[in-house]
Amino acid sequence: MPKFSHPREQRAWISRFNALLVASLLTLSVLNVQAAEVQIRFSHVVAEDTPKGLAANRFKALVEQRSNGRIQVKVYPGAKLYGDLDEMEAMRLGAVEMLAPSLSKFGRIGFPEFELFDLPFLFGSVQDVRRITQGPIGRRLLERLQRQQIIGLGYFDNGFKEMSANRPLLEPADFAGLRMRVQSSHVIAAQMRALGARPVVLPFSKTRQALASSVVDGTENPVSNFWTQRMNEVQTDLSLTHHGYLGYAVVVNQHFWQTLAPRDRALLTQAMEEALRYGNLIADTQNDKALAALQQAGTTRIHTLSPSQRARLREAVQPVYDELARRIGPVWIEEVQKAVAH
Ligand code: LMR
């Protein structure tokens, strides 16, 4: 410290020194973030206030905190960066490192066995789903992705899907002639056909607009997606059919994964496990919250099905199992049915 002729001078010097110190620390921390050693671009198609959006943000927070900013995760929600049609290709080319597509979207890129999750009325509860995703079947499915240089890091839920349109959808006859937006899954398309509707495959990010302009008449999704896409403004009726499951697999570019230091892979794996557990924990409440908000908004009539109405829908879609067995692989279907029956 320099010599001062007066204590006031010394105090002024100290306060200038402190201000400088704070400024340099701030600059350093900014530089730290900019100079992250590893950057992960994580792209997804839904809103931030959904099970997937929140789980992705939780992953980012855990990773950046535990690596002291050395690993940076940039989350791109709402198909801002890539959508259903190009996200897999973008990851293959290294334009993004991480995605969390719905399980229904793996058939399109050569993994039709993933469409087993779309079989209508297959799972009675998320506990049933867990028996598959947390067990040997789930592990084997993820391993298959390596065929295309994709590493599967794990599964998590959104929840059960409901049907929407500008009319109640309570009986098979209600679906007659409706154009229903579906994800790119042959199983979901077959399900809609079995109900007498016409499936129209559209990317998620185009769905609301397609409903608004009557390109399609209805769709299916868990309530959190319905609400956060403001589909309630363009659909008068939501029928709580709970007919199928919507879940995700987090996937990462294999080449990128292999270039990481083992300790970083371990950090990311651990953070992902925690983020997925968190995602599963909040999925139900996010859908309940969305349903409550929807009721409050009063824009859309909400219909609960009687057990016999649900049974009739279930019966109407049974042919899908035989029709799609060859595509999925009958052995996968048998194994899953056996696992859920326990
Ligand atoms: C959809 O396309 O309907 C869903 O897969 C969107 C999502 O990722 O939840």
Q: How far is the CA of 310 from the centre of ligand 1 (A)?
A: 23
Question: Tell me, what's the pLDDT at 260?
Answer: 98
Flag whether 8 is in a domain: no
Question: Tell me, what's the pLDDT at 216?
Answer: 98
Question: Tell me, what's the pLDDT at 36?
Answer: 87
Mutation to probe ligand 1, out of 43, 46, 87 (largest number of atoms < 8 A from CB): 46
Q: Tell me the H-state helices in the chain.
A: 7-34, 51-66, 87-92, 126-133, 136-144, 186-194, 204-212, 223-228, 254-259, 262-297, 307-316, 319-328, 330-341
Q: Tell me the H-state helices in 158-249.
A: 186-194, 204-212, 223-228
* Crossing angle of the two packed helices 126-133 and 262-297, in degrees rounded to 10: 160
Ligand 1 close to Cβ of residue 210 (< 6 A) = no
Number of structural domains, the chain? 1
Question: Tell me, what's the pLDDT at 180?
Answer: 98
**Residue ranges making up the domain that contains 242:** 15-104+113-340
Query: How many other C-beta atoms lie within 10 A of the C-beta of residue 164?
Result: 29
Cα–Cα distance between 307 and 124 in angstroms, integer?
14
* Closest atom of ligand 1 relative to the 102 alpha carbon: 5
Cα–Cα distance between 170 and 168 in angstroms, integer?
6
* Closest atom of ligand 1 relative to the 219 alpha carbon: 3
Flag whether 6 is in a domain: no
Please identify which residue in the block is written with the tokens 């890539």: 82
For atom 6 of ligand 1, the residue with the nearest CA is: 204
Flag whether 100 is in a domain: yes
Specify the DSSP class assigned to residue 306. Answer: P
Q: Which two tokens stand for residue 51?
A: 């099970």
Flag whether 1 is in a domain: no
Which CATH number do you get for residue 81?
A: 3.40.190.170
Cα–Cα distance between 198 and 42 in angstroms, integer?
33
Flag whether 209 is in a domain: yes
CA dihedral 66, 42, 275, 228 (to 10 degrees): 130
Cα–Cα distance between 225 and 203 in angstroms, integer?
13
Flag whether 171 is in a domain: yes
Q: How far is the CA of 86 from the centre of ligand 1 (A)?
A: 14
Mutation to probe ligand 1, out of 88, 114, 158 (largest number of atoms < 8 A from CB): 158
Element (H, E) at 153: strand 150-160
Q: Which residues pair with 301 in a beta bridge?
A: 237
Flag whether 2 is in a domain: no
Flag whether 9 is in a domain: no
Length of the chain: 342
Element (H, E) at 86: none
Question: Tell me, what's the pLDDT at 151?
Answer: 98
Q: What is the pTM of this model?
A: 0.89
Question: Tell me, what's the pLDDT at 26?
Answer: 43
Instruction: Tell me the Ramachandran region of residue 214: left when phi exceeds 0, alpha when psi lies from -120 to 50, beta otherwise.
Output: left
Query: How many other C-beta atoms lie within 10 A of the C-beta of residue 39?
Result: 10
Question: Tell me, what's the pLDDT at 25?
Answer: 45
Profile the chain (342 residues) by mean pLDDT over runs of 10 residues.
61 55 46 72 97 98 98 98 97 97 98 98 96 97 98 97 98 98 98 98 98 98 98 98 98 98 98 98 95 97 98 98 98 96 80
